[in-house]
Chain A
Amino acid sequence: MSFEAFKMGEYGAYVWSSYGLTLVSLVWIATNARHSREQQLQQAQRRAQAAALDQKMADQNAATEQRA
């Protein structure tokens, strides 16, 4: 593959900039989707931990009241 194949006559800048923008756009779409999912998963994990903690405290309070 020669350098001339990359230059593409006088159109190299146009063609390569189009392909470069396409690559950037596709990466952007993919990372945006993945980031959204990761963010929601982290929030779900935090809520689950908070709910588990609340449940644990409620169980402890119930046990204390029973002993009393």
Chain B
Amino acid sequence: MNWVWFHKLASPPSAYAFARTLRPWLLWPAIAMMVWAAYAGLFVAPPDYQQKDAYRIIFVHVPAAIMSSLVYTMMAIAAAIGLIWRMKMAHAVAAACAFSGAVFTALALVTGSIWGSRMWGTWWAWDARLTTVLILLFLYLGYMALRASFDDIGRADRASAVLAVVGVVNIPIIKYSVVWWNSLHQGATLSVFGKSAIDPSMRAPLWIMIFAFLLFFGAVLCDSLCAEILRRERNAKWVLTQGIAKSALLERV
């Protein structure tokens, strides 16, 4: 198999062009799927026999929670690649993931609190799952703060990459927190390989929404990565003289 196309992604101008091309193919299907899944989750799926209509928060809470862990894992893998193989583009991908991941994590915590306020009778509990997700939010914020504290991009990359890699130990703890400890939080709703603990009429909108969030994050990552590449390559010849500045006017149209 020809892997030249993959190795080309390590080049900033190639990665920039690839991200610009890919973005609309991710964004518009994501929006369409989100609209469908939201409609199906809100109005088509039947109410739960115990939680009645309150369970419908699951269609935004679970995708946000899954994305929070997935984005951090991706960030940590990119950071590790950057540390081991010293690839600048890997550090750029890690940096581009951070803000979105933090927002997904905060969203998961807030929607979970809203859901818990009715179902558990409390907005917050120092439960294993909630606490570990809160730690994840602090890891995201710490990563961004650490990056911002360095003037030199190279040192910022290395320091923040170490934090990202060390912090990834939190991800399996989040996943298995409901198994290892007595937790208010319910166990896994969905299973990729086994039987899911959710009715099929509710499962389809949930899977579609999860996939929509994934595509949406992909589209946002394309934009963030382009900004990160332009920031890092600001003095590079390809930015100044290969038409990108001229095409900026066209891109805004």
Enumerate chain A interface residues (CB-CB to B < 8 A). 1, 5, 8-9, 11-12, 14-15, 17-19, 21-22, 25-26, 28-30, 32-34, 36-45, 47-49, 51
Contacts and interface: CB of A to CB of B under 8 A. Distances in A.
B38 A19 contact: yes
A45 B245 contact: yes
A11 B117 CA distance: 11
User: Which applies to chain A's interface (DSSP): helix, strand, loop or mixed?
Assistant: helix
Query: In terms of DSSP, what is the predominant structure of the interface of chain B?
Result: helix
Q: Which 10 A-B pairs have the closest CB atoms?
A: A48-B245, A40-B230, A8-B53, A33-B223, A36-B227, A11-B54, A37-B227, A41-B248, A22-B60, A45-B245
Interface in B203-253: 216, 219-221, 223-224, 226-227, 230-231, 234-235, 239-241, 244-246, 248-249, 251-252
A19 B42 contact: yes
B136 interface: no
A28 B220 contact: no
A29 B117 contact: no
A14 B221 CA distance: 30
Contacts of A25: 64, 103-104, 106-107
Interface of B: 34, 38, 42-43, 47, 52-54, 56-57, 60-61, 64, 99-100, 103-104, 106-107, 110-111, 114-115, 117-118, 216, 219-221, 223-224, 226-227, 230-231, 234-235, 239-241, 244-246, 248-249, 251-252
B100 A14 contact: no
A18 B53 contact: no
Contact of B216 (A21, A26, A32, A45): A26
Contacts of B57: 14-15, 18
A4 to B, nearest CB: 10
Given A9-B52, A9-B53, A18-B115, A33 B227 contact: yes
A66 B52 CA distance: 86
A40 B240 contact: no
Contacts of B64: 22, 25
Contacts of A21: 107, 110-111
Contact of B249 (A12, A19, A45): A45
Given A14-B54, A18-B111, A37-B226, A47 B103 contact: no
A34 B221 CA distance: 10
B250 to A, nearest CB: 11
Contact of A37 (B42, B52, B230, B241): B230
B197 to A, nearest CB: 21
30 contacts: A8-B52, A11-B118, A14-B54, A15-B42, A15-B53, A18-B61, A19-B60, A21-B107, A22-B60, A22-B107, A22-B111, A25-B106, A26-B34, A29-B100, A29-B103, A33-B100, A33-B223, A36-B224, A36-B227, A37-B227, A41-B230, A41-B251, A41-B252, A43-B230, A44-B245, A45-B245, A47-B234, A47-B240, A48-B244, A48-B245
A30 B118 CA distance: 31
